[in-house]
Amino acid sequence: MGTTTRLIVPALAMLLLACGPTPPPETGPGKAGGPGGPGGVAPLPGPRRVVSKAAKTDFKEVVKEYEQALKSGGINKSNCSQLAQSFGEVYQSHPKLAEAKFNEGVVWEECGDLNKAERAYKALLQRHPHFGAAINNLGQIYFERGNIGQASTYFQQASALKNSEAYANMAVLQRNRALAGDPQMVKEAINNVHRALAVDSFNIEAYATLALVLYDHAQNDSQLEMARLICVQATKVDDKYYPIYNILGLILLRQRRVTPALAEFKQAVALNNDFMEAHMNIGAITLSFRDYKTAQDSFSRVLALNPPRKTKLEALVGLGVALRGQRQFKEAMQRYKEALRLDPTSVEIAYNQGILVQDYLFDAGNPAKAIQDLQTAANYLQQYVSGGKNKKKVKDAQRRLKNINELIPMLREQQKMMREMGGGGKKT
């Protein structure tokens, strides 16, 4: 079980400007820079900005359309083009409203069209080069494309403009580097989290990253407890932020508090049933509890969400085990075969196939078929002995092979006796 840290994309920008000078930063749920509402945009530095009543009215009408779309099923391909275009038109009519062009980019990102989002942000920055949230989101786009170097450059630029999300995203990159073996990045990540929170004390993702960094490198129970307390504090900042419950569950597992951990993972998916990571964690725990139906439900949900290849592979194997536990042997083998098509070299899959054949498909009343099945099981198990890395499983596979090698001669003797008695055994 593991967890990832999401990079932070400021949400839809709200217009917090009255006619007159730019006000000081506001923080808190629903305010600019805050995670609880449609905030997330740092106020623009520079000269006074006067916004007309007509501009504010046009902007608020499109925001209202956006919020209605969220209530009616979310932002998707059926509505994102119109919403993005509407924000873009507000910006064309009122070019001082940087928030309108920013929101166009946010909507395109929410729809998954990173190219159009990138063009919107870059067009915004040509006129408003100090709009830190747009620079941060460009970093997010390049991160999604796998260009970590360019992403880091954008995050650094946005950080120089005191953008809280950019500081937190720098911490995410530094956390990844620390996990890859650069211990100096632990301190750098923590420092950037503190900078993010200094700008915006309600930045919930910054709390999550800090908890993860401490979780990653905790060497004793007191350090784990500190990470847990940070998660608890984060839930007080925003009790609807589902990733924090997954992190809290992982910490509780490390503290050997399995049942409370399971409750936290369930809370995460109760808030977002599309949260694959928490579903995978629920599946793993409930398999260990032999709660096979719950495990089946969790792994099936993951597969329905079109997961990445590695997650799909793990979910298929987990689902196979859950089905096997419910004596749905044919269906279990089918899931293993699906997993094998994703990775024909996986010895983990072979190990599970060997257990299924040996323990559940073997029929001693049909010696001929039993011998064939045991030979098939032995082939699977030998693959794990040759390439498996889990010492406990290797030892189990070796024990199983020994049992098979002892049982096959006995079955052959049984076949011989049945032929002599005129029975011959069941036909295969």
Domain membership flag for residue 236:
yes
Domain membership flag for residue 235:
yes
DSSP type of residue 42? P
Confidence of residue 6 (pLDDT cuts 50, 70, 90): very low
Helix (H) or strand (E) run with residue 6 in it: none
| Residue 268, domain extent | 219-272
Tokens of 116: 């159009």
pLDDT at position 11 is: 59
Report whether pLDDT(410) > 60: yes
Report whether pLDDT(109) > 60: yes
pLDDT at position 24 is: 28
Mean pLDDT, range 119-145, rounded to an integer: 95
Q: pLDDT tens digit string along 177-225? A: 999 999 999 999 999 999 999 999 999 999 999 999 999 999 999 999 9
pLDDT at position 42 is: 33
**Whole-number average pLDDT of the chain:** 86
pLDDT at position 52 is: 84
Domain membership flag for residue 324:
no
Task: Identify the residue whose tokens are 């749920």.
Answer: 29
pLDDT at position 29 is: 25
Q: Who has greater pLDDT, 286 or 363?
A: 286
Q: Can you tell me the distance from the alpha carbon of 265 to that of 244, in angstroms, rounded to the nearest whole number? A: 10
pLDDT at position 58 is: 92
Domain membership flag for residue 255:
yes
CATH number at residue 230: 1.25.40.10
pLDDT at position 21 is: 28
Report whether pLDDT(26) > 70: no
Domain membership flag for residue 249:
yes
Domain membership flag for residue 130:
no
71's CB contacts (< 8 A; 6+ apart) are: none
Q: Is the dihedral of CA 390, 396, 397, 399 positive or negative?
A: positive
Confidence of residue 124 (pLDDT cuts 50, 70, 90): very high
Number of independent structural domains in the chain = 1
Q: Check if the beta carbon of residue 13 is closer than 8 Å to that of residue 38.
A: yes
Q: Who has greater pLDDT, 174 or 428?
A: 174
pTM: 0.81
Domain membership flag for residue 182:
no
Give phi and psi for 2, each to the nearest 5: -150, -175
Domain membership flag for residue 241:
yes
Kindly write down the DSSP assignment for every residue of 156-222, as one continuous string: HHHHHTT-HHHHHHHHHHHHHHHHTT-THHHHHHHHHHHHHHHH-TT-HHHHHHHHHHHHHH--SHH
